[in-house]
Structure formats: structure tokens, C-alpha cells
Amino acid sequence: MTETLNPALTDDIEALVARVLEAAHQHGLSLATAESCTGGLIASVLTDVEGRSHVFERGYVVYTNDAKADELAVPLRLIEQHGAVSEPVARAMAEGALRASGASLAVSVTGFAGRAGDDDEPGRVHFALAATGAPTRHEEHHFGDIGRGAVRLDCLRAALRLLEQAVTNR
């Protein structure tokens, strides 16, 4: 059970966190995160369970394009060509976090938690999961214009599910 964020987190999120951390522990895997619109929320819950935070290697909060380039080696030309909220950037973020951290698995999230601009779809989020020795997975979700907090919690669920699938299939 998470310590700091309990009881703010729902039971389903608590259960996901517990399953991810236990499976990573059992398989000897280490985890990393590369977060934009979630601002470190995923890393926070993964380090908030007593006795299991050792499976978390590190997290990157890369909110700006420059941060994505500086911390994760995401090429700025890729961001300019496809936009920061895109499949290629999500993949590059996860792969960059995996490479930079030395973790076994890295999950990334980049999206619009709320209204960002006229052409941006609130709630459109890209996720990627990079793992040593496996192809990078991608998912795109459309959570809708449900508010920043709700989108971020839905992102947390989606990222944890990606991690859970990856750690249980190793």
C-alpha cells in the first residue's frame, strides 16, 4: 500500500502499484519512468511502498522539449517534426530513459492533460514501454476533456498497466 498518497489513490491504483512492484521484485527487474504530463506522479507511487522501492531505479520529469532532449536524448528535430505529444516522441522518451538509467524497463508518458492550444485534443496521451531485449511498445489513449487531475490519474493507471504486463511477461 502506498504510504504518502493513501487514501487519495483509488483501490484499483493501489492494487496495480502492489502488483507491479511485487512482480518486478520477484523477477529481479528495475524500473524507470520518463514523464511529461504526469509530472512525476508515476515515479512517486512506485517509490511510496515500503519494502519495494528498491526496484525503482530512477525517474525523469521532462516537461519541456529541451528537457526531453537534454535528459533523454530525444532529438529536437523529432519533436519539431511530430510534436511532443506523439508516438515517435513517446518511444524515444522510453528508450532514452532505459538507456540513461540502466533499468530493465522504462515507461514514458507524454500528452495533453488539459487544454494546451487550439489544435490540441485534451486527454490525448501517448505511452511507451521500453525493455531490454524486447521491442518498444506504444499505446495512444483518448481520455477526453475530463480535467487535468482526472487525466493524470488515468495516465497513472495506463502506465501501471503497461508496466504490469511487461513485468509479468518476463
Judged against a pLDDT cut of 70, whether residue 67 lies above it is answered with: yes
Model confidence band, residue 9 (pLDDT cutoffs 50, 70, 90): confident
Query: What average pLDDT does this structure show over 30-38?
Result: 97
State residue 155's pLDDT score.
97
Residue carrying the nine cell digits 533523454: 72
* Dist CA 7 CA 84 (whole Å): 33
Residue 116 has pLDDT above 80, yes or no: no
* Range 6-25 average pLDDT: 91
The pLDDT, as a whole number, for residue 119 is 76
Domains contained in the chain, CATH given? 11-168 (3.90.950.20)
Is the peptide bond preceding residue 7 cis, with omega within 30 degrees of 0?
yes
The region, left, alpha or beta by phi > 0 then psi within -120 to 50, assigned to residue 142 is beta
Whole-angstrom Cα distance, residue 20 to residue 47? Answer: 12
Q: What's the pLDDT band for 7 if we cut at 50, 70, 90? A: confident
Question: What integer is the mean pLDDT of 112-131?
Answer: 89
Q: pLDDT exceeding 70 applies to what percent of the chain?
A: 95
Pairing between strand 124-131 and 105-111?
Answer: antiparallel
Residues 6 or more apart from 142 whose CB is under 8 A from it?
121, 123, 124
Mean pLDDT of the chain: 94
**Sequence-ordered strand ranges (E) for the chain:** 31-35, 56-61, 105-111, 124-131, 134-142
Average pLDDT over residues 107-119: 86
